[in-house]
């Protein structure tokens, strides 16, 4: 099964080229124009063992909102398309990831229905060059585009640690939930 996807999304605000392999080795080549966001997506690829190439030209002179949002949309769409009909996937999983004093919990259901419940409270306006208000926006945009049910909770004192634990936990939960277990559609409806 080839669970790879290439996608290009171009708007008046961003131009995104993305190449995703769900069954990769955690290789990445990422340039969003936002260094801390690059670092988080590098962690996402490595901890999910997803091969990810991502190149973004965004309107960063305005701010980082459109870039972060559109990467979430594009990555979510690519993830959904790479999964195909979802035959045999585990479907539901979770991950708890600590980073020093911080602890992140991410629970996913690759259900074909989008929903996001996010519990994140950051103290700083920015972590590096990423506005922390855009972190929940990324997760919500990803969940809606991937058509997954996503529950996220993080606690801690250091915003950098919290955000990094979240991206790692998302990757690990998605990797586990997308694993092929059998030859069945994991739904009584017969479709996801």
Output the pLDDT for position 141. 98
Note whether residue 116 is domain-resident: yes
On whether residue 189 sits in a domain, the answer given is no
Q: Note whether residue 182 is domain-resident.
A: no
User: How many CB atoms within 10 Å of residue 184?
Assistant: 10
Q: Tell me, what CATH number does 39's domain have? A: 3.30.230.40
In a domain, residue 81? The reply is yes
Residue 190 lies in a domain: no
Tokens of 61: 């002179």
Checking if the pLDDT of 160 tops 90, the result is yes
- Structural domain count of the chain: 1
Any domain includes 88: yes
Residue 183 within a domain: no
pLDDT tens digit sequence for 108-142:
999 999 999 999 999 999 999 999 999 999 999 99
Assess if residue 51 is contained within a domain: yes
Identify the helix (H) or strand (E) that includes residue 95: strand 92-99
Q: Give percent helix, percent strand, percent coil of the chain, each to the nearest 5.
A: 35, 30, 35
**Residue 130 sits in which domain range?**
4-177
Residue 191: predicted pLDDT: 84
Strand extents, DSSP E, 48-91: 51-58
């Amino acid at each position: 099964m080839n669970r790879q996807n290439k996608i290009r999304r171009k708007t008046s605000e961003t131009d995104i080229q993305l190449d995703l392999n769900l069954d990769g080795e955690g290789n990445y080549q990422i340039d969003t124009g936002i260094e801390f966001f690059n670092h988080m997506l590098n962690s996402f690829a490595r901890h999910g063992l997803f091969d990810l190439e991502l190149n973004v030209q965004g309107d960063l002179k305005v701010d980082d909102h459109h870039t972060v949002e559109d990467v979430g949309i594009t990555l979510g769409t690519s993830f959904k398309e790479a999964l195909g009909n979802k035959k045999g996937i585990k479907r539901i999983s979770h991950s708890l990831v600590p980073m020093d004093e911080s602890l992140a919990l991410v629970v996913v259901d690759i259900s074909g229905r989008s929903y996001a419940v996010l519990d994140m409270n950051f103290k700083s306006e920015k972590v590096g060059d990423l506005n922390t208000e855009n972190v929940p926006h990324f997760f919500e945009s990803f969940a809606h585009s991937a058509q997954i049910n996503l529950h996220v909770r993080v606690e801690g004192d250091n915003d950098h640690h919290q955000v990094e634990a979240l991206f790692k936990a998302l990757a690990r939960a998605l990797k586990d939930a997308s694993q092929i277990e059998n030859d069945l559609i994991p739904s009584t409806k017969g479709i996801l």
